[in-house]
Structures are given as structure tokens and as C-alpha cells.
Amino acid sequence: MKVLVIGSGAREHAFAWKLARSPQVQAVLVSPGNGGTARESGCRNVPGARVAEWLALAQHEGVDLTVVGPENPLAEGVVDAFRAAGLAIVGPTAAAAQLESSKDFAKAFMMRHGIPTAAYATFTDAVAAHAYVEAQGAPIVVKADGLAAGKGVVVAMTAGEAHAAIDAMLAGNSLGSAGARVVIEGFLRGEEASFIVVAHGEQVLALATSQDHKRLKDGDQGPNTGGMGAYSPAPVVTPEIHQRVMDTVIRPALRGMVAEGTPFSGFLYAGLMIAPDGSIGVLEFNCRMGDPETQPILMRYAGDFAVLMQHAATGTLDQVEPDWDPRPALGVVLAAAGYPESPRKGDAITGLPQDTGDLHVFHAGTTLGDDDVLRTSGGRVMTVTALGGTLRDAADRAYRGATGIVFDGVQLRTDIGHCALRQHDGT
């Protein structure tokens, strides 16, 4: 079969790489793709930035199956358009994608269905929002309702920071229409984990668990980013917690979406806060795989991912068992100079390690020039991802690969996996 992957990040490179390895797959188109997918065996980049272009591409090329990486095309109805044209695609409809595209929708949905999450209120009026913060006190969390590419959440440790965030979003229009409505919710303590399933209606298969690192600097310091690294599995998700997440978060969510007439299909990602006492709070839903979590998760997928995606698209997930490599995987993101505020582009990249069965470099902000030189073209440049016998081995292997890569101003964290490694090493 011929497969189309929509998107241009390291997540999409990982999808394309994994799909191209399936004996069922003859060709993988990546739209628009990046410098890594341009060179990946079995893959070909095709320009594309809008739903209508991807639909025309899929029809013209005779694509059998499409997998969508990022949230924006989903919120814009790419799945609705493909289904209306009779094309197989993995992802939720625009209506179901509201679980991610509106935080107010997601919170109200969780309340309706008894899914554990922090108490909240939603505001369009700044005066009322300020009053709510005064009544609740800090710490408190202010979130833009709409899609804000990871820039829409302020975890305010003081009431002053919360007031400033409200002013910026509601009065200052700092996030445009995404921030014209804000959700203000209670602060949850604990350790975060990413819990991702593939679903179709009430059919569901849990993927391997993972954890990412959002802050730019070692020790989880510095500004928030799209993610500086991730690893799988996440030891904080014990088998007992796994079961509880399925029973109290995932299944009620899928059941609720069916009951409300907007059944969910595709990847459902619950961002969790797990408190020291084991209680679970949902921070958010995403309606797609995470980036960088996808990179280590797919490194560990031992089955035929194209077959899994076909079952997801056709609603036959009850006929397949996911198959995981028991070895942990860890990915380190190399970011461009100036990331996240104003990443510099155009720096030549050298020193890429050889891809092997247990090490792969997934590209994001790279382009391959006509001169065959690879250059930076975005904030997160690549994720160097490795499998290892232990998490420590995976980290050592990923870091050995990452430290050979050279471009001007490269930024990387040196402590990806530190939470799990500390537990693992007993230090």
C-alpha cells in the first residue's frame, strides 16, 4: 500500500520511518516532510500545507492510508474531508478534535463524564477572571482555550503572575483568538506522564507510556519548549496506575465521545499529573501523538505499524495486539540557537551518526539543499533516539550520537530521563 504522512516534524519522520519498514508498504509520501524524510529510504517529500492540497494529493497519488501528525490539520477537518471522499485516514474528526482544540470543551467534557481533573472556570471577561484568581489564590494555572503551539499555559506561582497572564491573553490579545477565552484551573502537584492510546469509538489499544521534558535547560529550568527529549516507558505509570488510567480516564472519555455523538478515532493522548499518593489528574487531552514522545515510542514498536494504523482507520482494533520491544528508548532533542524565542535558521549540520537498528536520528527543522547540505530550518532540529538494554544504556547511546552532531549554536539538555534514571540507579 501507499501511505501518506501529514506533517514535517520529528514525530512525522518517526511515523514515516516506521511505516516504510512495513512489508505491506510500497511507498511513503510525507507532506511537507523535512530534510530527514527527504533522505529516508522508502520515503518521498511532497509539498502541502492545506487540507485541500492533501486531499488532492491523496486522490492523485492513489494513497491507501493517511496518518496525520499535528493537531492543526485535525482541527481544520482533514479527517472529515478524507472520510467524505472515501479515503482511509487515522485521526479524529474536527468535532472530536475539540478535546484538544478547546481546553474549555475538554474541561466541561471531563466534568460531564466524571474524569479526574483540577477544578476550573472559564472566562472571556478579564474583570471576572481577576476576581476568580483573587478568590482562589496562587498557585493557579491560566490556559488559553485554543491551540497555541505550547505557548498558551502559564503556571502562576503568584497571583500577580496569574493576573498578568489574564491581562496578556484577554486584554492584550497576546495569543490572538486562541487566548480570547481562558480556562483557569487549580494547580496539581506530582510527576507528569504521557498516556497515549489508539482508538476507534470504544475500541482502544494503549501504546507504551512515556515522559517528556518541556523546559529548555537541565534540571527542568528555563522557558517551556515544544519538548527537549523523551523516553519510554515511564516508570511512574506502574501497572496499577496504568489500569486506573484506562478505567477512570481513557474508557470514560471514549464512551463519553460516543455518547455525545462525536466518537473519537485516532491517537488520544492524556497528559497526566500523578500525585505522590498515586491519584491521577488529567492536565489536558491531545488528539494526536506527542512530539518528542513518538520518537522513543515508535523506536520500541516491534509489530507492523502499518497494519496497526490500518486497523485504526477501519475500526478493527479488536483484531490486533500491539507488540513492544521490552527495551527502553530515549530521545534527545537538538535545538537551534535562539530556540524557543527566535530560532536561527540556515546553519549547516554535520557529524550525523549512522542510523542503526537501535539508533535513529529523526529530523524536524532541517532542509536538504540542492547542494546536498543539511541545514537548520526550525527550532527543534532533530531528535537522536536510541534503544538500550537499560534506560541508562539508551541514554548513553543517544548522547553518544547527539554529541557528534555539529551546528552553530546547538542547544541540548544533558539530563533527559533524569527522573527515571535516578530511580533506576538508586541515587
Ligand X SMILES: Nc1ncnc2c1ncn2[C@@H]1O[C@H](COP(=O)(O)OP(=O)(O)O)[C@@H](O)[C@H]1O
The Cα 398–Cα 331 span in angstroms is 7
Sign of CA dihedral 320, 326, 327, 329: positive
Number of Cβ atoms within 10 Å of the Cβ of 362: 31
State which residue, 271 or 315, has the beta carbon closest to Mg ion: 271
271 binding Mg ion? (CB under 5 A): yes
State which residue, 63 or 118, has the beta carbon closest to ligand X: 118
In the complex, the smallest distance separating the C-beta of residue 153 from ligand X, rounded to whole angstroms, is 4
Among 25, 30, 133, 141, binds ligand X (CB under 6 A): 141
DSSP alpha helix (H) spans, 152-259 = 159-166, 239-245, 251-259
- DSSP of 287-354, one letter per residue? SS--TTTHHHHHHTB-S-HHHHHHHHHHT-GGG----B-SS-EEEEEEE-TTTTTS-----B-B-PPP
In the complex, the smallest distance separating the C-beta of residue 414 from ligand X, rounded to whole angstroms, is 21
Q: Judging by DSSP bridges, how do beta strands 27-32 and 374-376 pair with one another?
A: unpaired
State which residue, 281 or 388, has the beta carbon closest to ligand X: 281
Residue nearest to ligand X (CB): 284
Interface map 74-113 toward ligand X (x if CB under 6 A): ----------------------------------------
Among 16, 118, 193, 207, binds ligand X (CB under 6 A): 118
The Cα 298–Cα 12 span in angstroms is 11
State which residue, 4 or 184, has the beta carbon closest to ligand X: 184
Task: Give every strand in the sheet of 153-156, ordered side by side.
Answer: 120-123, 182-186, 140-144, 153-156
Which residues inside 146-185 make contact with ligand X, applying CB under 6 A?
A: 150, 152-153, 155, 185
Which of Mg ion, ligand X, none lies near 320, with the C-beta cut-off 5 to 8 A by kind?
A: none
The stretch near ligand X (CB under 6 A) out of 22-30, 47-55, 187-195, 390-398 is: 187-195
How many residues line the site for Mg ion (CB under 5 A)? 1
Which three-class secondary structure state does DSSP give residue 192?
Answer: strand
In the complex, the smallest distance separating the C-beta of residue 27 from ligand X, rounded to whole angstroms, is 33
Cell 497555541, located at residue: 148
The Cα 113–Cα 109 span in angstroms is 6
Among 192, 202, 220, 347, binds ligand X (CB under 6 A): 192
Q: Which of 112, 127, 190, 184 is nearest to 155 (CA)?
A: 184
Provide the total of helices (H) and of strands (E) in the chain, helices listed first: 15, 22
In the complex, the smallest distance separating the C-beta of residue 404 from ligand X, rounded to whole angstroms, is 31
In the complex, the smallest distance separating the C-beta of residue 224 from ligand X, rounded to whole angstroms, is 7
State which residue, 80 or 284, has the beta carbon closest to Mg ion: 284
208 binding ligand X? (CB under 6 A): no
Interacting residues toward Mg ion by CB under 5 A: 271
Interacting residues toward ligand X by CB under 6 A: 118, 141, 143, 150, 152-153, 155, 185-188, 192, 214, 271, 283-284
